[in-house]
Amino acid sequence: MNSSLKSLRIKLLSVLAAFSMIIATSSAFAAVDVKVGGSANAELVQGTNNTVDVTFSASESNILSMDFFLVYDPAVLRVTGLTPGIATGIKYTDHSNIGQKPTNATPGYASIPQADGTKNAEDIGYVKYTVYEAVTGGDPTTDGGELFTFHFDVIGTGTTQVSLVNVPPLTSIFTDGGGTAMDSLIINPVTITVSMTDAGAVAADKDELDLGDLSNVTTDLDLHNAGTNGTTITWASTNTSVIATNGTVTRPSFTTGDATVTLTATIKKGTVTDTKSFEAFVPKLAATDAEAVAADKLALNVAGDLSNVTADLTLPGTGTNGTTITWASSNTAVIANNGTVTQPSFTDGDAEVTLTATIEKNGEQDTKEFIVTVKRKAATDIEAVALDKDALGIAGDLANVTGDLTLPTTGANGSTITWASDNAAIASNGTVIRPAFADGDAAVTLTATIKRGAVEDTKTFTATVLKLAATDADAVVGAIAALNLGDTSAVKTNITLPTTGANETTITWSSSNTSAISNAGVVTRPAYGFGDSNVTLTATVKKNAATDTKTFTAIVKERQDGITSFEIAGVGTGVISHADKTINLSSSAYVDVTDIAATFTLPAGTTATLADDSAIVSEVTQLDFSAPVSIKVKDADGNETTYTVTVEVGKQFEVAATKAVVGNRVYINATATNHGANKDAVLIIAVYETSSATDMKFFVYKEGTLGATTDLDAGFLLPTGNYVVKAFVWDNFTSGKALSDAEVIN
């Protein structure tokens, strides 16, 4: 016996068995106690109690032998063996004839009551056993004891009765103490009930749970809330508005449509639960008239491709929900109300027709429209040729043909197309033969003849077949011919000198005068007064080893930002240096140039301003030339040059002096003659060291307005050394500007 399994040794105690035997006029009886664990009944739990023992004990002595069948329910128990008892005097027990089946003819067998009242002899387990007791000498054992114990496995649940049925002939089954045989043995059955575990109960009730046919539920469902094995059952619905958790069914409306609901049962016993789901189909309610109209409208269709109709249409007259359908056409000449189609002519073109269906049931109605395109009839020969002519084209760039052309030979409307060419550069089958580079591009006219039946027409195409690629020498020749710098007779701005030429050539440049035009085309115009520059530009055109040159003559125009002539009355004509940008005028006589008119000329389109742009200078203008004047000249091209005008005239004052020397004293008389207007100035007589022209040691001066002549006398005690005396006129001591030459008195 497996130690992991719980076993229960059960002793079944029968009620007092009555043995009756009629021998002559006397009777005898004997008793057998049958117990399971000290009780006449036993309740077991499957899985907890996996085995059970049933013990038979004799309460009387002198039992010599016993042949019997053991009966039980094989769906609940399975006999696994027999163990001899410990009654005094029992020598051995033996079982044999296993499989010998009792019959209802066996006394007492058929009458053994079963728990459910249904089992018959064919359903009861059986094993035949024989028990012996040998008695040798003296009295047999006077005390009873355990005769034997049967061992069972618990294999199922339910209630079974375990009992004995004696085997005929009924002789010498039992004897009493006096050796009197008893030929009848009746034992009341003992009851063993095997119940399930909670898990078993839940599993069994889950297997047993069934709601029947749920494929078309129209009435309430009986949802059990308890199982046969003591479980409780609760329900959940995925759509309680259709099937409530108590089984009430509410069918959906026609519009809502059929419903599929999942019902889930939760089976529970103790702490064990499990679920089982059922899918129920609940059909929708019958449609109302309005719903029928709406549903048939939604389902209504006209068979076929309505965008390409060429044959009659089938227009339904009834709907699946009992509606009637009538039709109206927006163009009955093309589609009649019964669906008959009349295709328009090719010239009229495709026709678009609106078909309107009216869906009606018992006064409820609605409409639905279908847009139908009825295709026109096939074209006539004339129409086909015209259409195919219009559609005819040649793929590719006909202005730059370099490869064979695909010339269509059929039109979309069944025409045939043949081709003719006026130049062998393109054959009538589209094959292209490019001309040599020297021959140039070829202009070709292709003529297509479109024909169907007896009708034909023509269409022409103009194509240019490009010449073949040039050799390197050809490329250079072509590039030189194409190279052009435009008008170079009056160059004023930079010239673009291309570095690549036609036919994948390269170009390099050289200039005969890079100071006027660089090799890169940068132009430097000659300054005004230097004249135009003539330049030869040489282009070297090259491709691989092939090379050639081409020259261009360019005239670079001189700039016009110069002064042509300059004159100041009383002073003279200016000497113009265009290189130094200077104008010099001089006069030995004194002239007041602080506000004097200057007359000058400019090239056409040139303007002049003072250098600081403070005033525009006209060609006759009053200026102060007592100091150099800068005039900025700008020509029409935006070139600018600034000229510096310097005017030199004689001094306004002329000084003469006399001296007298007495010892180391010197006396000076100086007279200043004014050649101009009266002027505030200073007449000075000063003593200088001979070695310094600027270190004035002593001086005497007269300051004020100097008129036509002014005299000044001075006397000096000369110190030791070499000194020189000078007489001169300054404008003032601050500026020290000389208004006369110094008269040196040695």
pLDDT of residue 164: 67
**At 213, which CATH number?**
2.60.40
Strands (E), 422-545: 442-452, 455-465, 500-501, 505-511, 533-543
Of the ranges 169-173, 188-192, 586-590, 687-691, which one carries the lowest mean pLDDT score? 169-173
Helix (H) or strand (E) holding 202: helix 198-208
User: How far from 679 is each of 28, 628, 699, CA to CA, in Å?
Assistant: 193, 22, 21
Give the residue, 22 or 549, on which the prediction is more confident. Answer: 549
Beta bridge partners of 269: 272
> Residue 94 above 50 pLDDT?
no
User: How far from 453 is each of 26, 131, 380, 418, CA to CA, in Å?
Assistant: 136, 120, 10, 14
Of 522, 556, 590, the domain-final residue? 556
Exposure letters 120-148 (e unless 16+ CB within 10 A, then b): ebeebbbbbbebebeeeeeebbeebebbb
Is the C-alpha dihedral spanning 319, 323, 324, 328 positive or negative?
Answer: negative
Q: How confident is the model at residue 103 (pLDDT cuts 50, 70, 90)?
A: low
The mean pLDDT of 626-649, rounded to a whole number, is: 94
- Give me the torsion for CA of 586, 588, 592, 598, rounded to 10°: -30
Of 534, 556, 578, the domain-final residue? 556
Tokens of 687: 């003593």
The mean pLDDT of 124-153, rounded to a whole number, is: 51
pLDDT of residue 602: 93
Is the distance from CB of 352 to CB of 373 less than 8 angstroms? Answer: yes
CA–CA gap between residue 565 and residue 352 (Å, rounded): 92
Of the ranges 34-38, 464-468, 470-474, 497-501, which one carries the lowest mean pLDDT score? 34-38
The mean pLDDT of 564-592, rounded to a whole number, is: 93
Q: What is the mean pLDDT of the chain?
A: 83
pLDDT of residue 161: 76
Structural domain total, the chain: 7
> Residue 142 above 90 pLDDT?
no
> Residue 399 above 60 pLDDT?
yes
Do both 191 and 42 map to the same domain? Answer: yes
Give the residue, 8 or 695, on which the prediction is more confident. Answer: 695
The mean pLDDT of 503-518, rounded to a whole number, is: 96
Is residue 1 situated within a structural domain? no
Do both 477 and 336 map to the same domain? Answer: no
Q: What would the pLDDT profile of 364-375 be if each residue is shown by its tens digit?
A: 999 999 999 999
Do both 487 and 627 map to the same domain? Answer: no
Strands (E), 517-606: 533-543, 546-556, 565-568, 572-573, 575-577, 582-586, 596-601
DSSP state of 61: S
CA–CA gap between residue 145 and residue 143 (Å, rounded): 7
Do both 164 and 41 map to the same domain? Answer: yes
Strands (E), 338-415: 351-361, 364-374
Q: What would the pLDDT profile of 161-200 be if each residue is shown by its tens digit?
A: 777 665 444 333 344 444 444 444 445 567 888 888 888 8
Is residue 676 situated within a structural domain? yes
Is residue 629 situated within a structural domain? yes
- Whose tokens are 């004159």? That residue is 567
> Residue 402 above 60 pLDDT?
yes
Among 210, 205, 201, which residue's Cα sits nearest to residue 157? 201
Do both 249 and 330 map to the same domain? Answer: no
Give the residue, 167 or 445, on which the prediction is more confident. Answer: 445
Is residue 128 situated within a structural domain? yes
Beta bridge partners of 359: 325, 366
Is residue 236 situated within a structural domain? yes
Do both 370 and 358 map to the same domain? Answer: yes
Give the residue, 106 or 390, on which the prediction is more confident. Answer: 390
pLDDT of residue 76: 83
Contacts 24+ apart (CB under 8 A), 606-612: 606/560, 606/561, 606/562, 606/633, 606/634, 606/635, 606/636, 607/633, 607/634, 608/563, 608/632, 608/633, 608/634, 609/634, 611/642
Do both 454 and 505 map to the same domain? Answer: no
CA–CA gap between residue 322 and residue 318 (Å, rounded): 7
Give the residue, 341 or 698, on which the prediction is more confident. Answer: 341
Is residue 595 situated within a structural domain? yes
Tallying the residues shown for the chain, one arrives at 746
Do both 159 and 20 map to the same domain? Answer: yes
Is the distance from CB of 566 to CB of 602 less than 8 angstroms? Answer: no
Cα Rg for the chain, rounded, in angstroms?
73
DSSP 485-511: ----SSB-S-----SEEGGGEEEEEEE
Tokens of 218: 């129209």
Q: What would the pLDDT profile of 242-258 be if each residue is shown by its tens digit?
A: 999 999 999 999 888 99
Give the residue, 672 or 618, on which the prediction is more confident. Answer: 672
Of 465, 492, 524, the domain-final residue? 465
For residue 712, give the amino acid letter.
Answer: L
User: How far from 77 is each of 101, 191, 500, 677, CA to CA, in Å?
Assistant: 17, 12, 112, 164
What distance lies between CA 102 and its chain's CA centroid? 86
Residues above pLDDT 70, as percent of the chain? 80
Do both 212 and 240 map to the same domain? Answer: yes
CA–CA gap between residue 704 and residue 708 (Å, rounded): 13
> Residue 269 above 90 pLDDT?
yes
- Euclidean distance between the first and the last CA atom of the chain, given in angstroms as a whole number: 167
Do both 191 and 207 map to the same domain? Answer: no
- Whose tokens are 């197309």? That residue is 417
Beta bridge partners of 501: 505
pLDDT of residue 110: 45
Helix (H) or strand (E) holding 699: strand 696-706
Give the residue, 38 or 559, on which the prediction is more confident. Answer: 559
Residues ≥6 apart with Cβ < 8 Å to 707 = 674, 678
Tokens of 36: 């399971």
Do both 459 and 479 map to the same domain? Answer: no
The mean pLDDT of 666-695, rounded to a whole number, is: 89
Among 57, 59, 17, 14, which residue's Cα sits nearest to residue 39? 14
pLDDT of residue 184: 43
pLDDT of residue 514: 97
**At 109, which CATH number?**
2.60.40.680
> Residue 265 above 90 pLDDT?
yes
Do both 542 and 611 map to the same domain? Answer: no
Q: How confident is the model at residue 159 (pLDDT cuts 50, 70, 90)?
A: confident
Is residue 153 situated within a structural domain? yes
Residues above pLDDT 90, as percent of the chain? 58
DSSP 411-431: -TTS-EEEEEESSTTB-TTS-
Q: What is the largest CA-CA distance in the chain?
A: 222
Range(s) of the domain holding residue 94: 6-195
**At 593, which CATH number?**
2.60.40.2340
> Residue 16 above 60 pLDDT?
no
Is residue 115 situated within a structural domain? yes
